[in-house]
Structure 1
Amino acid sequence: MGEDNHNTALLPMALKSSLLKFHLLRVCSGLLVLIIGAVSIGVYEKFLYIPVLTAGLVSLFAGVFGVLATMFRSVALHAGCLGTSILSLWVGRMAYILCLEIVATYPTTNKDAGLVTSDLLLVTMDLVTTTVVVGLQAAVLWVSQKEQRQYFPQRPHAGYPSNL
């Protein structure tokens, strides 16, 4: 009798390669957002850019978590990656709103305008990548659960009729 491995994600090759590319892109964009958030805090000497720094850090961790989930093909890691990706989407949205608010309310010089624009572009790139990854992770979990129900049908509990 074969091994019953209920925690293995069943990924088609095209989905696995595209998922790995998007997770590596998230690692890079998270690192860029983290660096530009630290530079923004250093230049402005204000703590207005802590959400940008946090968005970069969460995106970096979610990307690394996603790479590990794709490499080890674990359903539990994919579910954790989906959770951290949703958190990254929420924090990134807050950072995007903050960048727009800074552009609208604070007077900026040319150097500051370039920094705020690069913040806004990098956070937007991270948000788009995160949205695509959330959709792909949800598809991976749906396919894995559907395939596992097909290969590993649930047995009825003792005392319950099996025809329900």
Structure 2
Amino acid sequence: MQQKRALGAIIAACILAIVFWQQTRFKTITPDSVFTTLRGEQIVLHDLRGQPVLVTFWATDCRACIEEIPDLIALHEQFANNGLRIIAVTMPYDIPSRVKQLSEMRNLPYAVALDIEGAHVRAFGDVSLTPSSFLIDRERNIVSRVIGRFNLADWRARIAAM
């Protein structure tokens, strides 16, 4: 019994260390990324200066990512008219046909971009856990990064204050 508890404590400590390590590796200034959406649109992050932006890394096989979709849609519906741009970036290992199918099935109203080469994953600090979301202010500073599901009420307040 003590061995199971000790093993559980070690695993928990390792998970916390990974999350902390991931938190400290991301950049605070937005990289100059150019996203290509499923619709073929080019979104140049630099050109979005003056607008709040939410970049979220996700995968079609990530349960938390799928559960987060209604929150992303809610943010889009509430703040798109105020300039908020949401860019959902799939992980490099995700299958493009699955991404397209899920995006169409869920009728996602925000931009969905593929990251087949992993350039965006690297640009945002070697993202490895999903969902990982970055809230970017109007001056292109990353003001919040959340690994796992973000708190909808908290991000509504943050975006409203921008």
Structure with the higher strand share, 1 or 2: 2
TM-score when normalising by structure 2: 0.26
TM-score when normalising by structure 1: 0.26
